[in-house]
Amino acid sequence: MARQSSPVWKDYRKALIAEAGDACIACKRTKKLEVHHLIYRGPGVRGITEEPGDCAVLCLRCHKVLHNKFGYHMLTEDLKNKQELWIEHRRIRFEKRATPEFQAKRARNQAKRRAKL
Ligand SMILES: [Zn+2]
Ligand SMILES: [Zn+2]
């Protein structure tokens, strides 16, 4: 059976998403969530090869951006750490964007730009 359709994986995936609070860990979006493998460790005994922390819950968009940056061969611990750092930076960026200060600043800039037109 293909791994993606194995019931064990489906349950595991569901549990991971629930654990992440049903939201992308980077941008907190709650739609189109996917489970990304920070690292692949090869076939396991019970159909689950992942160790805690091997996967990250991301939305479709963040997931795409991550793969554009890191490619599709995530086999080293070193690369896993780099991805984790990248996700953390992205999370902080989105968190900043959600603050009232940032929103106000953006509104001011937009008003300025409109005034110039
Ligand atoms: Zn996201
Ligand atoms: Zn992925």
Q: Which ligand is nearest to the CA of 60?
A: 1
Distance 99 CA to ligand 1 centre (A): 17
Percentage of the chain modeled with pLDDT above 70 = 88
- Collapsing DSSP to helix, strand or coil, 23 comes out as coil
Say what the pTM is. Answer: 0.78
Give, for 55, the enclosing helix (H) or strand (E): strand 55-59
Q: Average pLDDT of 64-85?
A: 89
What values do phi and psi take at 15, rounded to 5? -65, -40
What values do phi and psi take at 59, rounded to 5? -80, 165
The larger pLDDT score, comparing residue 76 to residue 88, is at: 88
Distance 26 CA to ligand 1 centre (A): 5
pLDDT at 3 over 90: no
Distance 97 CA to ligand 2 centre (A): 24
Q: Please give the pLDDT value at position 50.
A: 74
- Collapsing DSSP to helix, strand or coil, 26 comes out as coil
Q: Is the dihedral of CA 27, 64, 7, 48 positive or negative?
A: negative
Q: Please give the pLDDT value at position 10.
A: 86
Distance 45 CA to ligand 1 centre (A): 31
Rounded to whole angstroms, the Cα distance separating 53 from 56 reads: 7
Q: What is the pLDDT of residues 7-47, one digit of tens each?
A: 888 888 999 999 999 999 999 999 999 999 998 876 654 55
SS3 assignment for 58-111: EEHHHHHHHHHHHCCCCCCHHHHHHHHHHHHHHHHHHHHHCCHHHHHHHHHHHH
Q: Please give the pLDDT value at position 41.
A: 75
pLDDT at 65 over 50: yes
Q: Please give the pLDDT value at position 1.
A: 46
The larger pLDDT score, comparing residue 5 to residue 72, is at: 72
